[in-house]
Structure formats: structure tokens, C-alpha cells
Structure 1
Amino acid sequence: MEVVIFCGGKGTRLWPHTENGNKHMIEIGGRPILWHLMKIYSSNGFKDFVLCLGKYGGDIWEYFSKKENIEENWKIKFVNTGDETPKAGRLAKVKKFVKGENFFVTYGDGVSDVNIKDLFNFHKKHGKIATLTAVRVPNQYGILDIDDKDEYYTINSFREKPRLDYWLNGGFFVFNKKIFDYLDKDKDLEREVLKKIAEEGELSAYKHNGFWKSMDTFKDVIQLNELWEDSAPWAIWEKSN
């Protein structure tokens, strides 16, 4: 079963650290974040990867084409999907590499301890076109409960960076191949394709209450490296040894 990974973005929010290189090659614990993501899937038994390359895609090919940098049982297809292509267009360009009824898709800049096997079983059980992993993340700031009736606005409670009450799209998708009927080279995956599928009642959420973190800024890079030195909650392969 194929794992399609989007790794063609420019990483503008990580500028200037992505000025001369690919965002997905930024290292966490001495390995590219893309390697960590692939390791999550391979630790769950899914080792057939399709990498949607874009800007600085050569960096990815150069690293992952060397046997010493990958697991011996990984199968990797490198597909140049263009520098400016939106994600739906990138996905459409790799259609011929998807052989089965269902396949995985995810972003190349986030890690999680999501149970990939449970996610897939959930997708098969509901039988819809698409499943996304829904996550809740900590608020960046403390939340105040203020008494507006009090002249001096007394603070009744203070919650330091609580988890948000609503669910977010965390990637880690499972798609049925029917999704290719909705794709177009110029369409946006989230705002157009998934929105359309949701309107038709063909999109389900797999709720994940565990660890999830995306690498959007250099602050995230620092935090992920600190987590790697501490607990590395996404490194399920370490826990199974």
C-alpha cells in the first residue's frame, strides 16, 4: 500500500533556513524530518513511498537514493510534480503509482504518534472516499476567564496554553482511489477537493488525542529537536525495540 508524501513546498515561513534547500530536509536529531515521517509509516508496516517533489527536490533525491540513509526494505519513487503545483495537482500527477483501492497521503513536515494501522482500519470500516486525522493542539497563549461584571475585571481563572477545544486537520490521510475523480492540476486540496468531498458526506475524521506537531517555523524546529533529546513521542520505532 502506497504512502504519498507532499514534499514540494517552498517553506516560506522557515526562511532564510530554506533559502538554498528543501524544507523537508531540515534535520531533527541528525535526520531529515522527512526521514522521521517515513519511519513512522514503515514502523507500522507500510514501506512503499511516493515522494511528490518540487522546489529543491534534488536534495531529497540525493539523500534518499543512498542506501546508507534509508531502511533496506523501503521502496521509494521520486516524482517531480513541479515547483508551483498545488497539492491536488501533485496528487493527480502520481496517480499511476497508486496500485490499490486505498492509499495513504500526508504532509512532509509533521510528525505524530498516530496509530497508522488503526487509522487504516477505521477508513476501511466506514467505506468513504477519504479520512483525515483530526488533532487538537495547545493554544500558543494562556487563556483568561475574566469577570466582566466586576469593576476591576477580576480574573477568575488562568489556563496556561490549554488544548484548543476544536479539531484541526492533521494530515495523515487515507484516500480511496475514487478521489482522483475530484482532482485537477489547478485545484487546492483542502479548500476545494476535501471541501467538495465533505459536502457529499464522503469525508470522515479519525480523532487522534495523542502527540502531533507540524514544523512550520524555526521555533518548531528547535522544539522538535528538544523533544527528540527528551521523549521523542513520535519515535514509535524506538519504543518497539
Structure 2
Amino acid sequence: MKTLILAGGMGTRLAEETAIRPKPMVEIGGKPILWHLMNIYAAHGFAEFVVALGYKGEAIKEYFLNFHALNANLTVDLTTGRHTSQPGAPVPWVVHLVDTGAQTQTGGRIKRLEAWLGEDDTFFMTYGDGLGNVDLQALYAFHKRHGKLATITAVRPPARFGGLSLEGDEVVRFDEKPQTGEGWINGGFFVLDRRVLDYISGDATLWELDPLEKLARDGQLHAFRHEGFWQPMDTLREKHLLETLWESGRAPWKVWP
């Protein structure tokens, strides 16, 4: 079962980083956020990826073309230019990198990947800029049980500001960025039947508008409620939050060994 990852947007709200690289290549702990996301899926047994490229997609191609060299010890003979590598543990992923156009919208990118689904009738789809400790096996089982065309992972929105717990005037607990506990929003991490492609008209289609709205009206969209950690990386502040969690050794999305 394949995982489609939308990695072609410009990431304008993170311009400090995305002026020189696509957002999925922005690093958390020295690794692209795309690497973290793929590790989440692979930890649950889903290790074949189809990545929809667009803005600065060549940077993502270069990363995976040089993946072994970047993640191995190297010996270079500067006299001859010859080099040998001593790779670590193998990474059993298959990664398809597909140019889906610089200006194509999210729905259009999904539609352009249809041929890459092969024989698969069901596939995962997510965005290349959000992390969470979603139980993907449970998500997939939920999708199979309800039998509809689409499952969206519903998450609690993170609060904009830190949360305080008070006893009198004393702060007894501070949470840097808690979830609000109010309402549900689109957290990505979709499971989709390939028939959802019929809801997408072309490159200009935003997945989050007509297709999802029509699927909901048709009774074909169910929500998998995720109460655990979820965090997008839309701003430099959110990038720093993820970085801090990773460096602390307490990154909730690290579900792999």
C-alpha cells in the first residue's frame, strides 16, 4: 500500500527557510521533515512512497539520489577521487519522486499521481509538513470498517500561545503549545479509495475545497479522531518548537527505534 506525500507547495509562511529549499526539506534535528514523516509511516509497515514534487523539487531528488552518501561514513582518496562508503543499517524504503508541476494545486497533484498507484485501490495521502504520533494501522483498520471512500484524520488544533495552569497567582504548569481541546481540524494523514480521483477535475483543484466538500455531502468522508500529538510546521516558531522537542529526546512523533 502506497503513501502519497504532497511536497510541491511554496511554503510562503516559512519564507525564512523556503527561499532556498522546499518546505519538506526544512530540517528538524539535522534531517528533513520529510525524512521524519516517512519514518512514521515505515514504522507502521508502510514504506513505499510517491512524492508529488513542485517548487524546488530538484532539492528533494538530490537528497534521495545522495541518500546513501549522506547517511554513511565515507573514505575519499583525494589523489584519485575514488571513494568508498560504509553504510549503516539499510533503509528498506521505495521512493518515487514525481514532478507534478510548480503551480498545481493539492487536488491536482493527487490526480497527477493516479498512474503511480498501480494496482492499489486504497492508499494513504498526507502533506509534507506535519508530524504526529497517529496510529496508522488503527487508521487503516477504521477506514476498512466504515467502507466509505475517504478517511480524514481529525486533530485538535494546537493553541497559538503557551497555556498556564494557575493556583492563585502561582503558575503550577506551563505548556509551550498545548492543544486547545476545542473543535477538530484537518490533520492530514488520509486513507483514500482511488475513486476519490473522480472528485478532482484538474490541476487547479484544491483538495481541501470541492473534493472534500463533495465527499462529505455524498456521505463518503469519515473522520478518524486522533487525540495524541500533532503539529504542523507552517511558521519559523513552529519549526523551532519541533526542533526543541527533537533535541530534548522527547519528540512524540518518533515512533521508530
Q: 1:210 aligns with which of 228, 242, 253?
A: 228
> Displacement, 1:165?
1.1
Is the contact between residue 136 and residue 165 of structure 1 (CA under 8 Å) also seen in structure 2? Answer: yes
* Residue in structure 2 matching 1:124, options 144, 167, 189: 144
Residue of structure 2 equivalent to 1:15: 15
- For residues 115 and 92 of structure 1, the distance between their equivalents in structure 2, rounded to whole angstroms, comes to 26
Q: Which runs of 4+ in 1 moved over 2 A?
A: 69-72, 159-162
Instruction: State the secondary structure of the residue aligned to 1:89.
Output: helix
User: Distance between the aligned counterparts of 1:128 and 1:162, measured in 2?
Assistant: 29
Among candidates 88, 99, 117, match of residue 80 of structure 1: 99
Q: 2:188 aligns with which of 171, 193, 201?
A: 171
Please identify, of 132-141 and 64-73, the stretch whose mean Cα deviation from structure 2 is larger: 64-73
Q: 1:107 aligns with which of 89, 105, 127?
A: 127
Give yes or no for contact 1:142–1:162 (8 Å, CA) kept in 2: no
DSSP 3-state at the match of 2:205: coil
When residues 206 and 18 of structure 1 are mapped into structure 2, their CA distance, relative to the original with a 3 A threshold, is same
Query: Percent identity among equivalent residues?
Result: 43
Match of 1:183 among 181, 192, 200: 200
Q: What stretches of structure 2 of length at least 5 have no aligned partner? A: 72-89, 164-173
TM-score (norm 2): 0.83
Displacement of 1:124: 0.4
Task: Show the counterpart of 2:57.
Answer: 57
Which amino acid in the other structure matches residue 76 of structure 1?
V
Question: How far has the Cα of 1:142 moved from its partner?
Answer: 7.1
Structure 2: distance between partners of 1:142 and 1:104: 32
Distance 1:162 1:102 in 2: 31
- 3-state SS in 2 of match to 1:140: coil
Partner of 2:27: 27
SS of residue paired to 1:20: coil
Corresponding residue for residue 200 of structure 1: 218
- TM-score, normalization by structure 1: 0.88
Distance 1:102 1:138 in 2: 30
